[in-house]
C-alpha cells in the first residue's frame, strides 16, 4: 500500500525558507511521477513542482527560480526546498505520486495523480 507522509511545514516570515519532505513507502514503480501541490483557502489545488523517474522537472511559473524539487538516491523521500517565500505561498502543501509517466505539460495536473499525502501547512507572514 502506497503511503505518502509530508513534514516540514511551519510559519515563516516573507523572504524566509522552508524545506518540505515527503516520506514514501510501499512505492516500487520503476516509472513514476511525483509532485508537490498546494491549496489555499477558497482556491483550487494547484501544481507547484513535479519530477518524473527520468529526472525531468517542472515548476509552476509562480515558484520558478525560488522552489526546487528533489529526491534522495533511494527515491524514498521527496523534497521541496522553498526560498524567498512570499505571503501568497501560504497554503496546505500536498505530496502526490502516480505510476508511469505523463507528458511534460501534464506533470502539474492534479488529475494525473492517484496517491496523496495528508498535507503540511505553510504560512508566510509579511
Nearest to 39 by CA among 2, 86, 92, 89: 92
pLDDT beneath 70, residues of the chain: none
pLDDT at 23: 95
CA dihedral 65, 66, 70, 76 (to 10 degrees): -160
pLDDT at 81: 98
Residue in 5, 8, 11, 34 with CA at minimum distance from that of residue 89 = 11
> Residue 37: its pLDDT value, please?
98
Amino acid at each position: 500500500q502506497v503511503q505518502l507522509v509530508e513534514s516540514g511545514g511551519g510559519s515563516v516570515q516573507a523572504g524566509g525558507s522552508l524545506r518540505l519532505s515527503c516520506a514514501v513507502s510501499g512505492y516500487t514503480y520503476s516509472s513514476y511521477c511525483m509532485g508537490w501541490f498546494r491549496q489555499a483557502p477558497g482556491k483550487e489545488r494547484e501544481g507547484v513542482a513535479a519530477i518524473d523517474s527520468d529526472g525531468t522537472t517542472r515548476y509552476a511559473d509562480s515558484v520558478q527560480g525560488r522552489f526546487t524539487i528533489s529526491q534522495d538516491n533511494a527515491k524514498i523521500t521527496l523534497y521541496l526546498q522553498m526560498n524567498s517565500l512570499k505571503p501568497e505561498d501560504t497554503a496546505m502543501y500536498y505530496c502526490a505520486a502516480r505510476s508511469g509517466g505523463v507528458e511534460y505539460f501534464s506533470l502539474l495536473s492534479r488529475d494525473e495523480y492517484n496517491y496523496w499525502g495528508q498535507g503540511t501547512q505553510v504560512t508566510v507572514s509579511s
